[in-house]
Amino acid sequence: MSTATRRARARSGEGRTALAYLAPALLVLGALLAYPVYQLVVISFYDYGQEQVSGGAPLEFLGLGNYTTLFSGSRFWAVLAQTVGFAAVCVAGTLLAGAALAVLATRVRPWARTCLFLAALGAWATPAVAGSTVWLFLFDANLGLVNNVLGLDGFSWTYGKWTAFGLVAAEVVWCSFPFAMITLYAGIKAIPGEVLEAAALDGASTRRIATSVLLPLLRPVLAVVTIQSVIWDFKVFTQIYVMTNGGGIAGRNLTLNVYAYQQAFAASEYGLGAAIGVVTTLVLLAITVVYLRALRRSGEEL
């Protein structure tokens, strides 16, 4: 038996073992998610409004009619672009803040690290509605602490489109960085110290060690953190809805989730809202697949 064949069989055996461990969780997730997703897809094919909900009118099968309406309007594409840009900023901010604090946690004294973890736990445990309300109070135009410190009394952070997006993105990063920080800290601590010492003895600089040693070894952890952050930040709803009062002035701060809520519940177009939900799910799946493939290719090149 050749070496390549033995390696292929070993990888196959590892894959079956991993699948066996994951099977219970997959069954639970499938049972919880399969039916709601099925209903979401079914509703997106019908003219399903308030009259149909109350039984005053029969369901009308539209096929891809809701998707045609969605894709033919410029509003959807503008909201999609805003969602992608907003999520990209939040993911980048979360990774940068989490990575910087994870490195800091490895270099400070135990008591300082404990305080840092407790502060991060407080941000992580704060409910989204409560956190958004606190941030609105801190950045209030007249009574906010931030405006008083900066001398910007009367300046409304939520009035402008980009300042409102920036304020929401900052709050999202604040409540998301603890996951990235703790996960990356665990990944850094799992790296054998001998590897870093060997690189230092070979004359590698701190930057060289970070880019050529730490990052390749942290690649699986970074993949998990990035994918989780993309999923969370792409479907942010509570922070935008609370901090921009439902999507901003004239809907300038809409994202796909808020847009779907407006169509489904404010306009009683449940079929159109379901279609937006299906498209959001497909976009997330596509982003995840593309990222994993790029990650695998880069790993093979290494």
Q: How would you write the pLDDT of the chain (302 residues) with one tens digit per residue?
A: 555 555 555 566 666 777 788 788 888 877 788 888 888 898 889 888 777 777 777 778 888 888 998 898 888 999 999 999 999 999 999 999 998 898 888 888 889 999 999 999 888 888 889 999 999 999 988 888 888 888 888 888 888 889 999 999 999 999 999 999 999 998 888 877 777 777 777 666 667 777 777 777 788 888 888 888 888 888 889 999 999 888 888 788 889 899 998 888 888 888 889 999 999 989 888 888 877 777 666 554 43
Q: Which two tokens stand for residue 242?
A: 């609370």
Whether 275 maps to a domain, the answer reads no
Q: For the purposes of burial, counting CB atoms within 10 Å of the CB of 238, is it exposed (0-12), middle (13-18) or buried (19 or more)?
A: middle
Q: Rounded to 10 degrees, what is the CA torsion of 19, 20, 21, 24?
A: 100
- Does 62 map to a domain? no
The greatest distance separating any two alpha carbons of the chain, rounded to the nearest whole angstrom, comes to 78
**179 is in which domain, residue-wise?**
73-268
For residue 232, tell me if it sits in a domain.
yes
> pTM above 0.75?
yes
Q: Is residue 299 part of a domain?
A: no
Q: What are phi and psi of 247, to 5 degrees?
A: 125, 10
**Is residue 108 situated within a structural domain?**
yes
Closest residue by Cα to residue 240 from 254, 223, 230, 220 = 254
- Give Cα separations from 216 to 159, 201, 212, 292, 302 (angstroms): 43, 19, 7, 15, 8
In this structure, which amino acid lies at residue 166? G
CA distance 134 to 139: 9
Distance CA 222, CA 53 (A): 44
Q: What is the CATH number of the domain that holds 86?
A: 1.10.3720.10
Q: Domain count of the chain?
A: 1
Q: What is the DSSP letter of 138?
A: H
> Does 2 reside within a domain?
no
In a domain, 201, yes or no: yes
